[in-house]
Structure 1
Amino acid sequence: MTAQTLDTKGLNCPLPILQTKKAIKGMEAGAVLEVLSTDPGSVKDFESFARATGHALVESDETDGVFRFLIQKSG
């Protein structure tokens, strides 16, 4: 399901969101981007990002301090 992974571990807000915007811009509608982050604030940031852009936050989870988000680009 995941077409591309963006590793933003070690980066703090707003860098994970800015890098996600750049990565998703070049993707086709319906494509899924996996984003990895260690910033605890990224959970709310990606929820807000999805609402504001219309992209779907398909999945969000955390394992050992690494947050993983699956974002599907809107059409």
Structure 2
Amino acid sequence: MSTEARERREQLSAELRDEPAESFGQLTPEQLTTLADALKRQRESRAAGLNEAAEEALKLVPALARGPVRRILFR
């Protein structure tokens, strides 16, 4: 395995937060990068959606209590 492929596989491993399956070794370095980038974008999109939903939910809390509730929930 080339140094480039090894680095890209490590990048994918970081995004998966685990070692990729052996079959991922058949992918080209470019394919590994594309997959890692797609996983990163999906994770960021999900996190943004969750943050947006949490902010919307806080609108249901009375205004005076929002600050303390936000600090308690999102330390």
Q: TM-score range by the shorter chain?
A: under 0.3
The structure where strand makes up a greater share of residues is 1
> What is the TM-score when the length of structure 1 is the normalising length?
0.27
Determine which structure has greater relative contact order: mean sequence separation of CA pairs < 8 Å that are 6+ residues apart, divided by chain length: 1
Looking at CA atoms only, which structure, 1 or 2, has the larger radius of gyration? 2
